[in-house]
A and B are shown apart, each in its own frame.
Chain A
Amino acid sequence: MFSLEGITTNVQDWLLMKFNPTMALAIECVIVILLSISLFAILGLVLVLMERKVAAHIQIRLGPNRVGPGGMFQTVADTLKLIMKEGLTPDKADKFLFNLAPFVVMMVGMLLLAPIAFAKNFQIWDINIGVLYISSVSSLSVIGILMAGWASNNKYSLLGAMRSGAQIVSYELSAGFAVLTIVVLTGSLQISEIINAQQNGWWIFKGHIPAVIAFVLYIIAVTAETNRAPFDLAEAESELTAGFHTEYSGMRFALFFLAEYINIFIVCAIGATLFFGGWMPLHIGNWEAFNHLMDYIPSSVWFMGKTFFLIFLIMWFRWTFPRLRVDQLLNLEWKYLLPISLFNLLLVAVITILGWHF
């Protein structure tokens, strides 16, 4: 059965056979860069189309259905249009920062790809502090947003960027605590070990109630972190027109747009890794036949399926709920999510020490 599992080792063996080790490493780097850039492009196109289709069906509409079969190439057409559009820079903007900001936001997304395990043995960098790396790098994206808001020399942008700053800084906390619960259960920060620990059952099933609470907290917190509705205060359309990217047009706007979807993909991929076992197939106790059947489904399909399920969940939120106000947003974090996650962490520590989880 075809799977991505063996590819990495095969490629590495082949490269080492043909070139000297330094050259092989350089070529590997190039391959990884090309792969991640193309993944970005494909993910952007797919996710934007998915968002529009989900929104349309929830809103009893059909959604894009003109370009290509079922509107499949709509986003490609949109991208072409955005590439051809002129990227305006406002006259009194801080031009250097203004042009830099979309790339900073994009870069953060690229950095975050590194420790994600897309399939069995298919991971760019299995760093031993993988989870810590993710939490620390993901908070860098706020710098890009603040930069964009400040440099635009637009009041709406500035307000949006300030909101975004307050929001991401606060919601980092509960997202971090939710991740910590799984780290406590596993006893490791390494992504591959977290996945391996879920061989006989995913944490959301094995971890009792604390894991479920942690999952709910995680989904809420990352929805806020990625500036998605109901927490899309940074770009609140009816209040701040487009928030921090009001002044952006053309491809630079597209980069912000793309970065939003890449960030969703990444946080959902991490959510799937932590709570749903990443590429690990669904195994139930000692149902040998069932477990065996599940193993036949390639690990990459498992990973993508789980990730897209979480992405759908986040999209579902967006098209159902109204937006929170900025003070309510902070209330929710500091008065509800943070105390609950602290309590939850305590609970999970007790459970782990007493060995109550499966």
Chain B
Amino acid sequence: MFLKEYITDVVTGVTSLLKGMRKTGYYFTHPKEIITEQYPDNRATLLMSDRFKGEVVMPHDANNEHTCTGCTACELACPNGTIKVVTKFETSPEGKKKKAIDALVYRLELCTMCNLCIVACPSDAIKMAPNFEHSVFDRTKLTKVLNQPGSKIREGIE
């Protein structure tokens, strides 16, 4: 019957709307459900995943030594030309000539954090760091030299 259909239409429509309102009303009255993270304030407690790919860094130990041999595997693996390895020849006290890096230039503005350079590195000289706050006022600051000044290759790394 027409009238019956009409009334059921109205009733089901209104109940479906009320159900939705109950759900939103529940969240309105339960402030504990709020999931906002107030980012710059929670910097101290912010937990980043240890694997998060934020930027490429070169770990140095206490003696300011790294493990990069200057093999340019990372440079070849990089799809964007982000990494440039500048090599030099070091003469050891015994008079032997040895290839070493002068600078590992890393251009953050080109990097897509694809992790291919880290996988390609045979001596684990570089890794990804979870730092994600890269904003700077000057674009030239994004071009970084990863090896620290005065650093040299660790003994026994070929």
Do these two chains really belong together in a complex?
yes
Chain A interfacial positions (CB closer than 8 Å to B):
54, 57-62, 65, 316-317, 319-321, 336, 340
Please count how many residues in chain B sit with their CB below 8 Å of the partner chain's CB atoms: 15
The reply to whether the CB of B33 lies closer than 8 angstroms to some CB of chain A is yes
State the CA gap A292–B33 with chains docked (Å).
40
Determine whether the beta carbon of A57 is less than 8 Å from that of B34.
Answer: yes
* B28:A58 contact, CB within 8 angstroms: yes
Cβ contacts under 8 Å, A317 to chain B:
21
Given contacts A321-B17, A321-B20, A336-B10, contact A316 B28 (CB under 8 A): yes
C-alpha gap A340/B3 in the complex (Å): 12
**B126: shortest Cβ distance to chain A, in Å?**
39
Contact between A57 and B17, CB atoms less than 8 A apart: no
The 3 closest A-B pairs by CB, nearest first: A62-B36, A320-B24, A58-B24
The residues of B that contact A320 with a CB separation of less than 8 Å are 17, 20-21, 23-24
In whole angstroms, how far apart are the Cα atoms of A235 and B118 in the complex? 51
Q: Are B36 and A57 in contact (CB under 8 A)?
A: no
B21 touches A316 (CB 8 A): yes
Give 29 pairs: A residue, B residue, CB < 8 Å, sorted on A: A54-B28, A57-B27, A57-B28, A57-B31, A57-B34, A58-B27, A60-B27, A60-B33, A60-B34, A60-B35, A60-B36, A61-B34, A61-B35, A61-B36, A62-B34, A62-B36, A62-B38, A65-B38, A316-B21, A316-B24, A316-B25, A316-B28, A317-B21, A319-B24, A320-B17, A320-B20, A320-B21, A321-B20, A336-B10
For the complex with contacts A57-B31, A61-B36, A316-B21, 18 further pairs of A-B residues with Cβ separation under 8 Å are A57-B27, A57-B28, A57-B34, A58-B24, A58-B28, A59-B27, A60-B27, A60-B33, A61-B34, A62-B34, A316-B25, A319-B24, A320-B20, A320-B23, A320-B24, A321-B17, A321-B20, A336-B10
CA distance A194 to B31 in the complex (A): 39
Nearest-CB distance from B81 to chain A (Å)? 41
B interface list, Cβ under 8 A from A = 10, 17, 20-21, 23-25, 27-28, 31, 33-36, 38
Query: Measured between C-beta atoms, what is the minimum distance from B115 to chain A in Å?
Result: 33
Q: A317 to B24, alpha carbons, bound, how many Å?
A: 9
Task: Report the bound CA distance from A11 to B157 in whole Å.
Answer: 93
Q: How far is the CB of B8 from chain A (nearest CB, A)?
A: 13
Query: Within the assembled complex, what's the spacing in Å between the Cα atoms of A340 and B34?
Result: 40
Minimum CB–CB distance for B98 against chain A, Å:
57
What residues of A have a CB within 8 angstroms of the CB of B20 in the complex? 320-321
Cα of A250 to Cα of B25 in the assembled complex, Å: 34
* Minimum Cβ distance to chain A for residue B111 (Å): 32
**Residue on B with the closest CB to A313?**
B21
Shortest distance in angstroms between B118's beta carbon and chain A's nearest beta carbon? 37
Q: What CA separation (Å) do A336 and B10 show in the bound complex?
A: 8
Instruction: Give bound CA distance, A317 to B20, whole Å.
Output: 9
A303 to B38, CA, bound (A): 37
Instruction: Name which residue of chain A comes closest to B26, CB basis.
Output: A58
Chain A residues closer than 8 Å to B23, beta-carbon distance? 320
- Determine the distance from Cα of A316 to Cα of B29 in the docked complex, in whole angstroms: 12
In the bound assembly, the distance between CA atoms of A319 and B23 in angstroms comes to: 11
A339's nearest neighbour on chain B, judged by CB, is B6
CA distance in complex: A316, B23 (Å): 11
Scoring B17, B21, B35 by chain A CB atoms within 10 A of each residue's CB, the highest score goes to B21
- Residue in A closest to B10 when the chains form the complex, CB atoms: A336
Q: Which residue of A lies closest to B32 (CB)?
A: A60
Q: How far is the CA of A237 from the CA of B94 in the complex (A)?
A: 76
User: Chain A CB within 10 Å — which of B24, B25, B35, B38 has the most?
Assistant: B24
Q: Which residues of B contact A54 (CB under 8 A)?
A: 28
